[in-house]
Every structure is written in structure tokens, then in C-alpha cells.
């Protein structure tokens, strides 16, 4: 039903205890194990660094830090970056989370196809423009790009957040695409249907 990944997923029970514990925790919370957790787990040292980096950027409070970006902002950057890199896993998985955080069932598809047409705030549009420059031409980032961010109320710390999230998911996108990682079917529908009581 799905293309097999190029690298077989390891058995959960064969993994070191810390990986196993974290993965079970995610499973408990999400109801399934997102493939990235097993796809990266064949190399525990890389796995630990990958998720430590992920958490430092995506849940800054775990790093004792606050951020000027909302959770939705961050997932929006991930979705746009992953679309620019044509990464199927990340567009689908993080698009799902974006829909949930922003409470906007349509936003992920819009950002993935053409962020210039998406129903997002002008501030978010500027944020994504900056992310796209870091993603596609980081060597050309200059003072004018920072000035545009500042004009939309972003601080230099926020700029670091945008750039670092873009850079980290550029790594993630390349790993997922090269290794043939496929999104779990559960992601495709998440956040699309408004919850009813």
C-alpha cells in the first residue's frame, strides 16, 4: 500500500531504552508512531541529536527560552521549507500539525503550494519570505532582509528562530527524501475536520 522505505525500520524493542521510552511516549500521545522516530532510530546517537535539536527549536520552553514565534508560526515555516525541498514526509506530517495549531483546516495546503496566496497574516508572509531566502539562497541574506523582518515586528532573536527552523528542516527534508521515508497515513487527515462535540 506504500512504497517501502529504503532502510528497513528497526524493531522498537531492539532500540536503546531512552529511544524506546520517548517513542512510546509519542505513541501514547499521538496514537501512532510517526515514521521519523523509527526511520532515524537505526542510529541512536544521530537520533538523540536530531530530536534534541528539534525540541530546542520547536518547543523552546524545554530549552528554558521563550520565542516570538507561535507554535503555528513554527509549523508554518516547516511546511513551507519542506514544500520548497519537495519533502513528502515533512509536508504531510508538519502540515497536519500546522492545521491543528493554527486551527485552520486549509492553511497547510495553501502554504505548501504557494505561500504567497495563503490566507495568512502579512507578518507571517514576511516570515515565510525570509525562510524561503534562507532555504534557497542563504548566501544572499543581507541587511535588507532583516530590515523587512524588523518592520513586521520581528526581533533578531525571532530571525534566528526562523532561520534555524528552516535550516534544521532542510536537514530533515534531505534525510527523509534520500531514505524514502513515507508519511504515516494518519497525518493526511489530521486537523482537516473541525472537531464537533
Closest separation in Å from C-beta 28 to a second copy: 24
**Which residue, 33 or 167, has its beta carbon nearer to a second copy?**
167
**Which residue, 139 or 195, has its beta carbon nearer to a second copy?**
139
CA dist 18 and 20 (Å) reads 5
Closest separation in Å from C-beta 111 to a second copy: 10
CA dist 42 and 11 (Å) reads 9
Closest separation in Å from C-beta 139 to a second copy: 4
Closest separation in Å from C-beta 69 to a second copy: 14
Closest separation in Å from C-beta 11 to a second copy: 18
**Which residue, 23 or 57, has its beta carbon nearer to a second copy?**
57
- The residue ranges of DSSP E strands in the chain, in sequence order, are none
CA dist 111 and 34 (Å) reads 22
CA dist 25 and 51 (Å) reads 14
CA dist 61 and 11 (Å) reads 31
Angstrom CA distances, 32 to 52, 143, 193, stand at 21, 44, 19
Angstrom CA distances, 184 to 37, 154, 174, 175, stand at 11, 34, 18, 16
**Which residue, 37 or 168, has its beta carbon nearer to a second copy?**
168
**Which residue, 13 or 137, has its beta carbon nearer to a second copy?**
137
Amino acid at each position: 500500500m506504500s512504497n517501502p522505505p529504503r532502510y528497513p525500520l528497526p524493531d522498537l524493542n531492539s532500540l536503546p531504552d531512552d529511544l524506546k521510552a520517548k517513542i512510546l511516549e509519542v505513541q501514547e500521545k499521538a496514537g501512532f508512531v510517526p515514521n521519523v522516530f523509527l526511520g532515524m532510530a537505526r542510529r541512536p546517537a544521530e537520533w538523540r541529536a536530531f530530536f534534541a535539536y528539534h525540541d530546542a527549536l520547536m518547543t523552546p520552553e524545554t530549552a528554558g527560552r521563550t520565542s516570538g514565534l507561535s507554535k503555528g508560526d513554527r509549523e508554518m515555516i516547516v511546511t513551507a521549507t519542506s514544500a520548497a525541498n519537495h519533502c513528502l514526509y515533512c509536508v504531510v506530517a508538519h502540515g497536519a500539525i500546522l492545521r491543528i495549531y493554527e486551527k485552520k483546516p486549509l492553511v497547510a495546503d495553501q502554504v505548501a503550494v504557494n505561500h504567497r496566496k495563503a490566507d495568512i497574516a502579512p507578518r507571517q508572509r514576511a516570515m515565510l519570505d525570509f525562510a524561503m531566502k534562507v532555504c534557497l539562497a542563504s548566501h544572499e541574506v543581507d541587511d535588507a532582509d532583516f530590515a523587512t523582518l524588523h518592520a513586521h515586528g520581528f526581533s533578531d532573536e525571532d530571525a534566528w528562530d526562523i532561520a534555524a527552523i528552516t535550516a534544521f528542516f532542510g536537514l530533515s527534508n534531505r534525510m527523509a527524501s534520500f531514505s524514502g521515508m513515507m508519511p504515516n497515513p494518519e497525518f493526511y487527515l489530521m486537523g482537516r475536520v473541525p472537531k464537533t462535540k
